[in-house]
Amino acid sequence: MQKLSSSELFSLEQYARQRPGFRTQVLEHKSHRRLAVGPNCTWCFEDRLTVQYQVQEMLRIERVFEEAGILDELSAYNPLIPDGSNWKATLLVEFPDPQVRKVRLAELKGIEARCWMQVAGHGRVFAVADEDMERENDEKTSAVHFLRFELSPAMVAALKEGAALAAGVDHPHYTHTVDPVAADIRKSLIGDLD
C-alpha cells in the first residue's frame, strides 16, 4: 500500500467543505476494521483511508497549511499504513473507571507483545509492538499501543484462498480469543495484502 503524499490531501478549505461526507465514509470503513478482543481490548486496523483521516483531522485542529508542517504530520502517520505483507493496528486497552484502569494497566505490562493473529493452518503471528517509541514504564503499560503483524507469503496466499482467521491476546492477566474473525473484518484486512 502506497504511503500518502501531501498532494493527496485536502487543503484546509477543501476539507472544511468535504469533512461531513468524508467523516461518514471513514466511520463506515472503520466499522469493518475494529476488532474487540475480549471486553477491554480493541484493535483498530489502519490503512490509507484511516491514516488520511487522522492526518486531515490533525491539520484541521492545528490549523497547519504550510508544507513543512504537513510533511511532519505525514512522517508521523505514514508508518501506520500497511506495507502489503502486514497489518498495522492501534491497540486500545480500555477501562472506563480511572482507579480500575490504573490497577489493570499495572497488571497488563507486556500485553502489546502478547497480541496474536493466526491464519488457519499456520502458526500464530505475535505483534511487533511500538516500533516508534517505548510506551511502557516500570509501573504500567500504556492504554494505547501500535502493533504490526507480519505475514508470510504462504499465510497471505492461504487467506486469499479462503482460510479462516483468528486473533487473540495471550497474557497471564488477560486471555481472550476471537475465532473466527468476522467475515467483514477478514475481507477488509485481506485488502491490505495487495
DSSP codes joined into one string, 148-161 = EEE--HHHHHHHHT
pTM of the complete model: 0.90
C-alpha cell at 17: 467543505
pLDDT at 132: 65
Residue 181 phi, psi (nearest 5): -65, 140
Domain ranges of the chain: 6-31+48-80, 86-193
Given strand 124-126, what is the order of strands in its sheet? 124-126, 115-119, 165-171, 174-178
pLDDT at 136: 56
pLDDT at 110: 93
**One digit per residue, pLDDT tens: the chain, 194 residues?**
789 999 999 999 999 999 999 999 999 999 999 999 999 999 999 999 999 999 999 999 999 889 899 999 999 899 999 999 999 999 999 999 999 999 999 999 999 999 999 999 999 999 999 876 655 566 788 899 999 999 999 999 999 999 999 999 999 999 999 999 999 999 999 999 98
